[in-house]
Amino acid sequence: MKTTDTPPPVEPVEDRTQVVKEKVPPEKAKSSEGGILNAFSHGILIIWAIMVVLPLLWAVMTSFKDDDSIFSSPWSLPDKLHFDNWSRAWSQAHMSDYFGNTLIVVGFSLVGTLVLGSMAAYVLARFEFPGNRFIYFLFVGGMSFPIMLALVPLFYVLNNMSLLNTLPGLILVYIAYSLPFTVFFLTSFFRTLPTSIAEAAFVDGASHTRTFFQIMLPMAKPGLVSVGIFNFLGQWNQYMLPTVLNTDPDKKVLSQGLVELATSQGYKGDWSGLFAGLVMAMLPVLAAYIIFQRQVVQGLTAGALK
């Protein structure tokens, strides 16, 4: 709207102030056009929400049905809650083992990733030494390499070290492949922390190591939480690394175990057991997400926004 040279008619000006101050809907034609657009885009938003939520709800519902009704009436509610599906999946289909293995692997590798990652990041962020940049880019470059390429030789490296198909081997690999992002993220985080406190501690006679563990780490807590959530989800959901490097049926982790379950239950025709297993794996993460919603979102998006 140009109102500079021609003397403005009074109406539009009034109209404008109305829009801003009183939120009176603009002229008729405009509002109906806006209304259609609004309804249309709101409709798409609702459809997408349904498309996301419905399959998950449907999976939960299906896990309580018996095998016949899964196929005969996929959309109806279960006649009664078949909890036996869940107990069958938990014990007979080894879901309990998969859970246990995943907890061990993710527990150790998460702690290992955070400790080693923050140590490397701290040194790279705060100390000048020859090769600093080189090491930093060595770590960061790892983010864009296709992991699959390394997995072929890594399979034989682990085999030679007798670490293939063992949980400790998997833990070490998880840590190593989580380092690039962790170092990248925490290096920029440590750079934002003030230097004066660490210097004061150093003047007071604290060693570098002590300064790091007692002063810098507590200060870096928000960053550690973000990167910790990112790594937790990545490692908990990891599928490619265990598929290649951990093929022993007794050592399988959750995601591969589920795929295994799908194959074997498919033969047995135990679909309800499979769905119980799927939902069992799905619910803890979803519940954790809903509870820690804000932190999870921050943790997962922080890296890309840096």
Please state the separation of Cα 220 from the chain's center in Å.
Answer: 20
Binding segment for another protein (CB under 8 A), chosen from 54-62, 76-84, 89-97, 215-223, is 54-62
DSSP 8-state class, residue 143: G
CA 85 – CA 112 distance, rounded (Å): 36
- Of positions 183, 186, 216, 227, contacts another protein by CB under 8 A: 183
DSSP 8-state class, residue 144: G
- Of positions 6, 80, 149, 192, contacts another protein by CB under 8 A: 149
CA 121 – CA 212 distance, rounded (Å): 11
64/271 with CB nearer another protein: 271
Q: Which of positions 76-115 make contact with another protein (CB under 8 A)?
A: none
Q: How far is CA 15 from CA 5, 33, 34, 246, in A?
A: 19, 18, 17, 69
Q: Which of positions 203-262 make contact with another protein (CB under 8 A)?
A: 207-209, 212, 233, 236-240, 243-244, 254-256, 258-259, 262
- Of positions 80, 152, 204, 218, contacts another protein by CB under 8 A: 152
Q: How far is the CB of 177 from another protein (least distance, A)?
A: 6
CA 223 – CA 118 distance, rounded (Å): 10
Q: Which of positions 6-35 make contact with another protein (CB under 8 A)?
A: 16, 19-20, 23, 34
Q: How far is the CB of 17 from another protein (least distance, A)?
A: 10
Binding segment for another protein (CB under 8 A), chosen from 92-100, 184-192, 219-227, 271-279, is 271-279
Neighbouring residues of 223: CB distance < 8 A, sequence distance ≥ 6: 185, 186, 189, 190
> Is position 45 an interface residue for another protein (rule: CB under 8 A)?
yes
Q: How far is the CB of 215 from another protein (least distance, A)?
A: 14
Which letter, b or e, does each residue of 187-197 get, where b requires 16 or more Cβ atoms within 10 Å of its Cβ?
A: bebbeebeeee
Structure tokens at 270: 């135990």
DSSP 8-state class, residue 58: H
70/167 with CB nearer another protein: 70
With contacts defined by CB under 8 A, how many residues of the chain interact with another protein? Answer: 97
CA 285 – CA 56 distance, rounded (Å): 13
